[in-house]
Each structure stands twice: as C-alpha cells, then as structure tokens.
Amino acid sequence: MLFRLVVIPGSGCTGFTPFAAKYFSGLAKAQVIVLHKPHADLSAGPAPAECQPEFLRHDALGTWRDDALAALRQVNAGDAVPLPTIVLGISEGAELVPYLLPAIPNPLGMVLLSATGLDPAVAGEMQAEKLGQGQAWKKLKETAASSQADDMIVEGRSLRYWRDMFGWKLTAALVEAKLPVLRVWGGDDALLPQQAYDRLRSLPAANGLSVCDWRLDGADHGLQGRRGDGVQLVWERLENWATTGRLDCGEDMRQRP
C-alpha cells in the first residue's frame, strides 16, 4: 500500500457494494475509503426505485460533510504514520472534496470526476439549461427562497437539501486548499456542458487554483466510452501521482494556472 484514496460518491441513496470490486480493480497500491451519504442503502443496486424517507430527511451537503469528517478522523486516529492521501469526488461528491481536508494530515491533492469545480448552484443552472429544464430550475430557486418547510420534497430532494446547496461555495474552498486539482470528464457527458468546465478558468474567484484538465473524448458522465473504462485510466494516473509525488499533466492533459 502506497497511498490512501478517499472517495466521495455521486448523488443517490445507494452504495458501491454491488460493483466496488470491479470499479476499483485498477488500484493495486491504494487503501480505498468510500464515504457514502448518511442512511444510504449500500446494497440497493445502481438505480433503486425510490429512496427511503430517512435518507431524504438527512440528505444535505452539510450533514454529509460532517458525517464524512467524523469518519475520517476515526480512520486517521489508527494511523501510526499518516498516509499520503488523494481526495476524489464523483459528480455531486466533488462538492465535499476540499471540505474534508481538515481531517486529512497528509494530503497530496484533489480529484473531481465529472464535476466542474464551480459552485453547485452555478453548475446546476448550466446543467438545467443543457437538459432544457431552465424554467424548472428558476422555479426551484424561488421555492427554496420561500417560507416553505425544510422537509418539503421538491424535485426529489428536500428543501433543506436545496437551501444548503444554493449556499455552498465550492470554488473558493478549492482555491483555499492550495493543492493541485485534477478534473476528469467525458467529452460526451449528457449532463454537464463543456462550457461549465471552461467557465471555471474565467472566474476571478478561481485565481491561484492549479488545475490539470483531462477530457476523455467519447466518454459519458461515468467515464465510459470508446477508450474503454476511463475510471481505470484515472487509477493509473493516481498511482503514478502517489509514486512520484507530483501530478503528471502532460500529453492528453492541459495545465491551467
């Protein structure tokens, strides 16, 4: 074992149990820790018909962050020597990445898979426009700003979740972390437009952020496509990163100051 990989999954109320062995098969030198959302059903499969009420009540970025921090502190308490650690967020899970660093004594860097690094309210609006749901997004913002109760369910999430999300500041937290960031996304991602990835580089708030971009042409939101399983390509890069202590941003990657 050479390094620790802390993984924060994407949205949803299920877990990695049914496919974890295949998903992480390309990692030979890492201890993998997956930080699921509180009350997720880890064995429900990739697309359960519905999420349990207990999950919906607790589904909020702040709650997930606090639960993940507590879990990481327990893990680190058992380390004789802190392992070099890469923190990786998948889609929605990327919104937690920089907020977990206080519980990581030896961080190497951060990875955003199919996530832009934009504040989720900004990325969400661009996603809604791409999917033709601009009006629904506008109505959601209005409802979140209303006096309706936090436990009201709107678009499959509680208003507590949406209110937390609209106030979440991801870009500033990434900059404050002062660590290299690897962004990996699919060129055929049906959810997030290319403009969302480009936008981060134009934001004054992102000044000083060291970003290495890797677009996998032909790959979808899950990094699957004509190059095969893009996730396994990512693992190869991460093991090289942990071995050398630096992020290789050459050839098919682009460095962003």
- Which parts of 153-217 fold into alpha helices (H)? 159-166, 170-177, 194-202
pTM (2 d.p.) = 0.93
pLDDT per position as a tens digit, 190-201: 999 999 999 998
Please, what are the domains in the chain? 3-118+169-256 (3.40.50.1820)
Helix (H, G, I), strand (E, B) or coil at 216: strand
Q: What is the dihedral of CA 49, 54, 56, 59, to 10 degrees?
A: -120
Taking 50 as the pLDDT cut, the residues of the chain under it are 257
Ramachandran bin of 121, using left for φ above 0, alpha for ψ from -120 to 50, beta for the remaining angles: alpha
Quickly tell me which residue has 């032909």 as its tokens. 218
